Amino acid sequence: MTETPKEVARETAEGRSSRTPWLALSGVTVVVGALVAVILIAAFLVYYLA
């Protein structure tokens, strides 16, 4: 079961699949996690280099 990212994005946007909540939640989790990682890295750099 291999799907392209475009197919998964289309499925999530339509919202008719039972997988939609999990796909949307996973996407939000990845984005929030990346933002937290960037903020933590910046905070550690400021702390250690200041």
pLDDT tens-place string over residues 4-45: 989 988 988 998 889 989 999 999 999 999 999 999 999 999
Please give the tally of structural domains in the chain.
Answer: 1
Calculate Rg over the CA atoms of the chain.
Answer: 17
The reported pTM is 0.72
CA 6, CA 3: separation in Å to the nearest integer?
A: 8
User: In which domain, by residue range, is 16 found?
Assistant: 5-49
Q: For 3, which DSSP code?
A: -
Cβ atoms within 10 Å of 8's Cβ, excluding its own: 15
Cβ atoms within 10 Å of 24's Cβ, excluding its own: 13
